[in-house]
Structure 1
Amino acid sequence: MKTDTRHIILCDGVALPDSLIGMLPPHRVLTLTNREELPDRNMTVKIHDFASRLIARIPDRTRDLIEIAAFIYAADRLIKRGETNQVEYENWARELTFCIPVRDFNFWQQAEVSNKLAEALVFVSGDKSYKFHFTSRIGIDPLTGLFHNMDTNPTSSDSNEHYPIALYSGGLDSLAGVVSLLETTSSKVVITSHRSNPSTTQVQKRVYAALSKAYPGRLRYHPLDCNLTHGERASEETQRTRFFLYTSVGFALAQAYSQHELNIFENGITSINLSKRQDLINGRASRTTHPKTLGLLQAVFSSISGQSFVINHPFIHLTKTEVVSLLKQYERPELITATVTCTKTFQKFKNRSGASHCGYCSQCVDRRFAMYAARLEKYDAVYDFDLATEAFPGKDAQTHVVDYIRHAHTFATTHFGEFCNTYLEPLADLTEYCQPDQAEEEVNALHQLYQRHSMAIERAYRRMVATHDSIFKPPKPNSIYEIVNARRFQRDRAECLATDVAQMLSTTLPIALASTVINHENALNNQIQALLRRDQADYEREYPAVRFSFATVVPDHSSTKADADLFIEAKYVRKTMMPSRITDQIAADLMKYPLGAYKLFIVYDPERRIKDDNGFKRDYEQRSNCTICVIR
């Protein structure tokens, strides 16, 4: 069933336009209010306290841009996309129509302008569409600032000086970027950040304090507070449009300092973000610093400024390990511990009270491997779960690590031609923003980037082993060393799922049938179905790309509509049945499924009619994409 994903957002007292009346029910119309003089204010964008000499340099349309970006960000957080297992584009992506008052109405009402804005937002967010109804802003508009003013002398903003402008998040990549600017230029560096909650604010203040101590008098810091009010928790945590707000703030600051470029810092693997799993398609695969995103935003900002504006991305061809290594190169590794990379800081950590990172989200895993690969692990943060020394705390943690290593293994074994064919569509998005004669060179550089990333992962793992593991120590169950030694990451997800299901049924099915008489295959399938449904939530957590539709139909059970299909067939070997009949049935079943689908055959043989299990399974498993599990 298709979900209605349409929403209308009315901003700062704008009335519903006649053309939209009756289009959607009231619960799909969201009202956002930022202006202090209006009632029911539910968001705050602190467009004040900016240096008095700089506010005059912020054109009206740029101030409009900040407010537009803030409304979009607030709506993004308040309008639910759907559950995390909804990977279908039509269910997860939204259709958003914004009604926004602006100061420079003549500029914003141009179709070319709104189209550029919509195109950038659709790509960065993964949503279906963005539409805009602009009206002239009326009411008081006090001449107030845009940012908090920290350590900024308003009389020193000489437009003839060059001030590198950089986005700064409090993360490891942005730290390395700011340090690289400070080390390679002699001028002051201007940084800006978006603060949405107390936790983020605390981290950014801590990193800023560490930078200021290391580089006294070299930084000018202008953070912007933009958040929901009344302490309500957002219903949507993906925050894909946060980067649009973030870069809009950077663009406004660049204009205030008479600069025509902005620096953003993120390693190329994270920026390009070739999907590891099917559940990371569309909006769930972050595109925030993707080259296409930056190209589309450059077009928007250039239209607003009336001249060419450039977004620099110096780390696009660097791995996380290479980015971290810059801090070693500039002899600033002591700054690392102040940064936070984790996506789960809103959770309360249980194992270590001083932990700043969960240790098992995808960002923590990436950071941990990079630190070991760069031989900087002693400078790293405190993790609630230590990947290098502890057993996984749950299925989610194991899944992130297996996917991460599988991803690296894929690129380590992928030649250039295969890389191009496999990732044709995402590479097209990348090369679209290259010079035509540089497209092949760029793809080759990206292939090399991913191969260097894979080598860094292997180097990091070898260092973990050398530091924490030994053949003279007992193996640690459910640890990264057990996973790597089993080479689980070298098997596709459907095969791993088949193995896990087979292991579970081998243990539980004999117990379930101990006091039950099975007379036919349907009764056997009913028992299997009950056991699969019991563990369904665990399987969905471990295999989020594989959705389950267990049922006693042909195939008996299945998990399909994902990047790897698994079909499960149950066979009951009766007392009077010859094993050859079962082999004929399996052979016939193998012929009816697609070659790419993985098959699991559950053969229930309580009378031990099959004398040689390995011989029975060997030929099928060697020649076909399947697993055969004999259970008694």
Structure 2
Amino acid sequence: MTQLTCTVHGVRKSLPLRKAVFDFGANPVWMLHGPLGPRDLSDRARDLIDLAGAIYRIESQIRRRPTDPAVRWELVVPVRDPEFWTVTGGPLLASCLGFLNRARWILTFTTRPNAVDFIRPEADERSIDQVTLFSGGMDSLSGAGSHNGLRDTIQLVSFYHSQAKLQSELAAALGYRPPTQWRLSGRRGREGMNLIRSFMFLCLGAAVAESYGVRRIVQYENGVLGTAVPQSGNFIPTRHAHPETHRRVVKLFDAVFGGSFLVTNPFLPLTKREVGEALVAAIGKERAEELFRRTETCWYLFQPRVGGLEKANGQPCGVCTPCIVRRTARPAESAAGAWPGWLGYAFNLTDPQYGEHPVVGTTFRAYLELIDITLTAPSDTALIDDLAPEARALIDEVHGPDEALVAGVLRRFASEFCDTFGILRPEAAAIKPSGPKRNERSRSSTQHPATLVRTHPPGTQDD
């Protein structure tokens, strides 16, 4: 058997099941460019990266149904080491995937005959201390560039579609050796989900770490997105860099590779603007600015339409979550022509035709709700209590993040958001220290008025 089969059950029993298939076939699942350490990968390690890639492809084929969310994923999975995955690896894998996409995963493992491995490059014998995930986005650029240790003791790891050259050029500009770049066979589905991509990326980092015999992986992500706080209760954020995600993948990696892995995110306490400031402090404003302009963020960068509205291919939309957060870090980017060749964002949210648009303005208006809560809450505890239940459930637990960290990041982000989009801050009561833990109190009944208003005419911000 060479096919991974998937059946997805939703909450509505009357609707048909959703199904998808990934065929491992006779070719490698992965193509690899760049260095790999001298240690060989075990069968279960090769299974892990193949499974991560296959499940990523499978997820993209499962169409979203807003009124029928997926609650159970049933997979039949061919692997090289079925005994390990059935007894030990499978439950840990299901724990990781279930946390990321909020569903139950039921995995059945079979033997995968004649599995084809990726072509291994010549062994890189140098000694390294850690692996750093490097997407070529603003956060990973700032993290790699602001690291104050030796570049030669770090191996960058990248997953790429079309940005391989950009990743290599940015790495070289920061003084690093070529990154280890992985490319996955097949194509993504157009209407599927995308909640487990970071799991795949982390698995690739773990495989490279194993090849060098190290156990430290660094994933740089700003705290606005890394804490996985949704803009409002209607949004399902990715948990791609949440501390709980890291805790779960560490347990899986320890079982697959042996030893004690450590996955960290040094940028969890920072807003995206503060992330950028870290790179400026490390390499200077002029050099950092040149590199920032080359990084890519938008979810819909190469799509010709967003929300039924046309945009140029390769132009960032300006209305997706990462575009909005990036604008708060780099407000001067909003205007077309801010530097030669810059198209600007396709849709400027300071213009009511986009900010109030029923589709492209949805995320922006949700952020207005979050900003209102953040700026009017009288204490850190009250702020956390008025967040969506999904956010509250993941704050102040054993593995964090804690209330003070999340509240601090959100307050500073709210200030940056208001400055960027020309929003008048509501007057808030003096902020009080966090009160008792949430399990020692009842839910706050504080109501937050929608008091956010613009401070200047729409369309003039950053012009």
User: TM bucket by the smaller chain?
Assistant: 0.7 to 0.9
1:179–1:375 Cα change, 3 Å: farther
Within the candidate set 60, 63, 78, 1:80 is matched to: 63
Shift of 1:99: 1.6
Matches within 5 A, 1:569-588: none
| 1:474-528 deviation digits (Å, cap 9, x = unpaired) | xxxxxxx5xx47x99x9xxxxxxxxxxxxxxxxxxxxxxxxxxxxxxxxxxxxxx
Q: Does 1:34 align with 2:18?
A: no
1:15–1:276 Cα change, 3 Å: closer
Contact 1:76-1:236 within 8 A present in 2 as well: no
**SS at the partner of 2:157?**
strand
Contact 2:136-2:296 within 8 A present in 1 as well: yes
Q: Does 1:255 align with 2:210?
A: yes
Contact 1:105-1:136 within 8 A present in 2 as well: yes
Letter in 2 for 1:301: F
Question: Partner of 1:333 in structure 2?
Answer: 289
Question: Partner of 2:391 in structure 1?
Answer: 426
Distance across 2 between alignment mates of 1:346 and 1:121:
27
Contact 2:32-2:183 within 8 A present in 1 as well: no
Q: Does 1:346 align with 2:302?
A: yes
Question: Partner of 2:460 in structure 1?
Answer: none
Question: Partner of 2:12 in structure 1?
Answer: none
Distance across 2 between alignment mates of 1:428 and 1:29:
31
Q: Does 1:228 align with 2:186?
A: yes
Contact 1:188-1:220 within 8 A present in 2 as well: no
| 1:10-57 deviation digits (Å, cap 9, x = unpaired) | x714799xxxxxxxx9975543212227xxxxxx72256676864x52
Letter in 2 for 1:419: L
Shift of 1:307: 1.5
1:432–1:379 Cα change, 3 Å: farther
Q: What is the TM-score normalised by the length of structure 1?
A: 0.58
**SS at the partner of 1:145?**
coil
Question: Partner of 1:101 in structure 2?
Answer: 78
Q: What is the TM-score normalised by the length of structure 2?
A: 0.77
| 1:109-134 deviation digits (Å, cap 9, x = unpaired) | 21x432221111111012x2111111
Question: Partner of 2:146 in structure 1?
Answer: 180
Question: Partner of 2:436 in structure 1?
Answer: none
Shift of 1:224: 1.3
Letter in 2 for 1:172: M
**SS at the partner of 1:426?**
helix
**SS at the partner of 1:96?**
strand
Contact 1:207-1:335 within 8 A present in 2 as well: no
Compare the two structures and name the one with the higher helix fraction: 1
Within the candidate set 68, 76, 98, 1:122 is matched to: 98
Contact 1:116-1:299 within 8 A present in 2 as well: yes
**SS at the partner of 1:109?**
helix
Q: Tell me, which stretches of 5 or more residues in structure 2 are unaligned?
A: 7-14, 429-446, 450-463
Contact 1:193-1:222 within 8 A present in 2 as well: yes
| 1:557-596 deviation digits (Å, cap 9, x = unpaired) | xxxxxxxxxxxxxxxxxxxxxxxxxxxxxxxxxxxxxxx9
Letter in 1 for 2:328: F
Question: Partner of 1:246 in structure 2?
Answer: 201
Q: Does 1:194 align with 2:162?
A: no
Contact 1:189-1:220 within 8 A present in 2 as well: no
Q: Of the two structures, which has the highest relative contact order with CA contacts closer than 8 Å and spacing of 6 or more?
A: 2
Q: Does 1:267 align with 2:222?
A: yes
Question: Partner of 1:449 in structure 2?
Answer: 409
Question: Partner of 2:89 in structure 1?
Answer: 113
Within the candidate set 246, 252, 261, 1:294 is matched to: 246
| 1:597-620 deviation digits (Å, cap 9, x = unpaired) | x9xxxxxxxxxxxxxxxxxxxxxx
Contact 2:301-2:313 within 8 A present in 1 as well: no
**SS at the partner of 1:318?**
coil
Percent identity (aligned): 23
**SS at the partner of 1:166?**
strand
1:301–1:450 Cα change, 3 Å: same
RMSD: 3.7
Distance across 2 between alignment mates of 1:300 and 1:92:
26
1:32–1:452 Cα change, 3 Å: same
Contact 1:373-1:459 within 8 A present in 2 as well: no
1:374–1:410 Cα change, 3 Å: farther
Contact 2:217-2:263 within 8 A present in 1 as well: yes
Question: Partner of 1:324 in structure 2?
Answer: 276
Q: Does 1:367 align with 2:326?
A: yes
Contact 1:61-1:304 within 8 A present in 2 as well: yes
Distance across 2 between alignment mates of 1:271 and 1:245:
17
Matches within 5 A, 1:376-525: 382-385=343-346, 387=348, 392-393=353-354, 394-414=357-377, 415-423=379-387, 426-434=391-399, 442-461=402-421, 484=423
Shift of 1:226: 1.4
Distance across 1 between alignment mates of 2:391 and 2:16:
38
Contact 1:372-1:460 within 8 A present in 2 as well: yes
Shift of 1:292: 1.1
Contact 1:431-1:442 within 8 A present in 2 as well: yes
1:374–1:395 Cα change, 3 Å: closer
Contact 1:340-1:356 within 8 A present in 2 as well: no
Contact 1:427-1:443 within 8 A present in 2 as well: no
**SS at the partner of 1:165?**
strand
Q: Tell me, which stretches of 5 or more residues in structure 1 are unaligned?
A: 1-10, 17-24, 38-43, 462-480, 491-595, 599-632
When the two structures are aligned, how many residues end up with a matched partner? 411
Letter in 2 for 1:177: G
Letter in 1 for 2:365: V
Shift of 1:145: 2.9
Letter in 1 for 2:326: R
**SS at the partner of 2:359?**
helix
Within the candidate set 287, 290, 315, 2:267 is matched to: 315
Shift of 1:289: 1.3
Shift of 1:219: 2.2
1:360–1:155 Cα change, 3 Å: closer
Question: Partner of 1:19 in structure 2?
Answer: none
**SS at the partner of 1:184?**
coil
Distance across 2 between alignment mates of 1:388 and 1:358:
10
Distance across 2 between alignment mates of 1:49 and 1:223:
5
